[in-house]
Amino acid sequence: MTAAAFAAVFCSLSPAHAVDSEDTVAIPKASTPAASGGESLSIAPSIDAPAQKPNNKNGFNLSQHWQEDDKHYNLACDLGAKFTKSGDRVLSLESGTFLIECEAPITLKTPMSTIYLRANSMVMVRVQEGRERAYVLLETAHISCQHRSMSLRYGEEILVTDHAPFRGELAGEADVGLRQLRVHDLKDNHKLITMEYSLVQAMEREPLLTQIVHSEHNHDKFLRDKLLKAAAVLNMVTSRHGQYAGGY
């Protein structure tokens, strides 16, 4: 199947239709681009999420912080999340949504994959039964799953499933716009999908990121500025990759 043909199939998928392909897909369907041909970098004014305290009504806990060898690590997660510190600079993420920022390298272990973060990286990881996804927000991450190993930079994400994923699983809970999908077959019918995502839409729609965007805490402001700069860079250097699908 050609990339163009697969793109057409993806855009017409019903929620019950699964994706199974090795093609690289540049999806031509998208949110409205900015006048320059890229994506608008303004944070959506419709978001109503002022700075919030830990354990707020949205169910997120932003108070996790620890230090090893004079290096600082920050973790935000939903209150139902389960994780353990399983070694020096090693976290085992069992279930839930996690936002992790590290001043030094750290390893994240999930039921189906291992994520290695370099210094000053930031990722968001969501672990659910039968599927896992990781957004690289700042710097790069190296991800290993079964016999596959690859590096992802900011603006890219990975989805790992124990089945052929449905369209709704590709889009995710926040329906963040995607493009440049590539699906890899793994053992036991597992799938590994890499793709580019809209960092701007993730900041607008993912609750953990939205809280940072609207926070008045000095460190959150620092992270917000870095994320906006990263989004601006992506807007310039990846504009020829096509528009994002979904994200409505």
94-150 tens-digit pLDDT: 999 999 999 999 999 999 999 999 999 999 999 999 999 999 999 999 999 998 899
Q: Which residue has the tokens 């949205």?
A: 58
Q: What is the pLDDT of residue 216?
A: 86
Q: What is the pLDDT of residue 100?
A: 94
How far apart (Å, rounded) are the C-alpha atoms in residues 197 and 180?
9
**Following DSSP, what letter does each residue of the chain receive, concatenated?**
--HHHHHHHHHT--TT-B-----EE-----SPPPTTSS---SPPTT-------TT-TT-EEEEEEEEETTEEEEEEEETT-EEEEEETTEEEEEEEEEEEEESS-EEEE-SS-EEEEPTT-EEEEEEETTEEEEEEEESEEEEEETTEEEEEETTEEEEEESSPPBHHHHHTTTT--EEEEEEEE-GGG-EEEEEEE-HHHHHHH-HHHHHHHT---HHHHHHHHHHHHHHHHHHHHTGGG-PPB---
Start-end of H helices in the chain = 3-11, 167-171, 199-205, 207-213, 218-237
Q: What is the pLDDT of residue 62?
A: 52
Q: Write down the mean pLDDT value for the chain.
A: 77
Q: What is the pLDDT of residue 63?
A: 58
How far apart (Å, rounded) are the C-alpha atoms in residues 183 and 23?
7
Q: Looking at this protein, which amino acid is placed at residue 123?
A: V
Q: What is the pLDDT of residue 239?
A: 82
Q: What is the pLDDT of residue 186?
A: 94
In the chain, where the domains are located: 3-30+51-241
* Among 240, 173, 166, residue whose Cα is nearest residue 209: 173
pLDDT in tens, the chain (248 residues): 333 333 333 333 333 334 444 443 333 333 333 333 343 332 322 222 233 343 333 344 555 778 888 888 889 888 889 999 988 899 999 999 999 999 999 999 999 999 999 999 999 999 999 999 999 999 999 999 998 899 999 999 999 999 998 878 887 888 899 999 999 999 999 999 999 999 999 999 998 899 888 888 888 889 999 999 999 999 898 888 888 887 54
Cβ neighbors of 122 (< 8 A, separation 6 or more) are 99, 100, 101, 102, 137, 138, 139, 223
Question: What pTM does this model have?
Answer: 0.75
Q: In a 3-state reduction of DSSP, which class is residue 219?
A: helix
